[in-house]
A and B are shown apart, each in its own frame.
Chain A
């Protein structure tokens, strides 16, 4: 192994790979709120019932039944085509979606579809008591949701959402296919220049692995902090 290949500066690829990691993390972090918002919306629609529920169900079924890669291409090529048609651009004057934006939209759609199911499951396993107590005190439904149910809801949903975050980090690698200079793509660029595919793809995999393990550690800490009673947990005889 030639470790010089990973050095900083014009001869090594260390700085390029770190820049790629930055884009990967930026993409994942930008997608997270989009996906959580879509997931919450879809979950709310589901609980409204009627046609809204059908809409939510169609969305989650579609997302969970088609590959992430297909969603990505659909958004990347499809939205650009739609925009061009709407703006009725002539040839040579095409609008095209930036790969980053396409990545945020498509991965956000994917994350939303899965997050909706996680949130729905968490909401359905909430206890009735606090909700009824809130309503009996004359609180509005949204007040009950925000003031009483949000915290236990997030506690219940956190493990599932944590898994989705890990999947999201790994799925960002797909966006390298539409030429976003993320970690995976920088690996490919390095391979093209150095003819050391095994070395660089292994390095890239190790970096993703590191991100995932760090995330797992962070999520475990977060989960501990979210327990009723905080990091120490509920003391026997104490109050939550």
Chain B
């Protein structure tokens, strides 16, 4: 317990950075994944091969490789990037990690979302068309909500996988939970640091899983068995 007091503040700061990177990357990825998934779903002739290539590349290569490619690889184009004013952005490991995680997670989320889009029942779409829904209404009211509902559990898994995979940020000098742990261990050679880090990650993942279950239940509440009718109200007065 003594050592926990010692490391607590630093590990907590690391956990904060881990959460920031994970949630930030995940949300940015979600923005990118929707158009990607729609491209894969609608299959316009020109852009579909590009979208397929994107998803295949980011799912078929290690996250660490992608991170190195962006973080170190940017250095090869330093003059060009400086001319574009992007060098300051890509020199910072935090931005690089955030961008890598977004690009990577977008590919996974797009693949998941495509499954959701394809899982929406044809009958529901037909019914909406028969009611005269415009294409925008069809997407906004029928296709997308149902696709997200179907994809929701898998999207939760992806969040956890991103959180765990995101530990590679520590390799490009970021002091996330993993980075703080490695730093503390290299200073103290105290093995308990690793155990606290494992505990920290477990706490974060379990809370996210719990949160996701709550959200899922809320999203699916129209499919829950109907609540029993409210019992007769007690007359409090008299």
Contacts and interface: CB of A to CB of B under 8 A. Distances in A.
Contacts of A77: 185, 191, 194
B76 interface: yes
B199 to A, nearest CB: 9
A47 interface: no
A154 interface: no
A177 B61 contact: no
B64 A174 contact: yes
Interface in A53-94: 61-62, 64-70, 73-74, 77-78, 81
Interface string B188-229: 010100100110011001100000000000000000000000
Contacts, number: 120
Interface stretch (A124-132, A198-206, A229-237): A198-206
Nearest to B67: A201
A162 to B, nearest CB: 13
A77 B181 CA distance: 12
B201 A65 contact: yes
Nearest to A170: B62
Interface stretch (B41-49, B146-154, B162-170): B162-170
A172 B76 CA distance: 26
Interface in B157-180: 160, 163-168, 170-171, 178
Decide if the interface of chain A is mainly helix, strand, loop or mixed.
helix
Interface stretch (A8-16, A35-43, A97-105, A207-215): A207-215
B64 A184 contact: yes
Given A197-B76, A212-B60, A188 B68 contact: yes
Contact of A66 (B64, B191, B198): B198
B164 A209 contact: no
Given A77-B185, A174-B168, A70 B194 contact: yes
A196 interface: yes
Given A73-B194, A77-B185, A170-B63, A191 B202 contact: no
A171 interface: yes
A24 B191 CA distance: 28
Contacts of B166: 67
A26 interface: no
A173 B191 contact: no
B194 A173 contact: no
A204 B65 contact: yes
Contact of B198 (A70, A196, A208): A70
A78 B165 CA distance: 21
Contacts of A201: 65, 68-69, 72-73
B56 interface: yes
Given A67-B167, A70-B181, A199 B76 contact: yes
Contacts of B182: 73
A115 B194 CA distance: 24
Contact of B69 (A74, A171, A195, A202): A202
Contacts of B59: 212
B73 A70 contact: no
B202 A62 contact: yes
A118 to B, nearest CB: 13
Contacts of A195: 76
A69 B178 contact: yes
B109 interface: no
27 contacts: A62-B198, A66-B197, A66-B198, A67-B163, A67-B167, A68-B165, A69-B167, A69-B178, A70-B194, A70-B197, A70-B201, A73-B181, A73-B185, A170-B61, A172-B62, A173-B65, A176-B64, A177-B64, A187-B65, A197-B69, A198-B72, A198-B75, A201-B73, A205-B61, A209-B57, A209-B60, A209-B61
Interface of A: 61-62, 64-70, 73-74, 77-78, 81, 166, 170-174, 176-177, 184, 187-188, 191, 195-199, 201-202, 204-206, 208-209, 212-213
Given A69-B178, A198-B72, 5 more contacts: A61-B202, A65-B201, A74-B194, A81-B189, A198-B74
Interface of B: 56-57, 59-66, 68-69, 72-77, 160, 163-168, 170-171, 178, 181-182, 185, 189, 191, 194, 197-198, 201-202, 205-206
Q: Which 6 A-B pairs have the closest CB atoms?
A: A198-B73, A67-B167, A173-B62, A212-B60, A197-B72, A198-B76
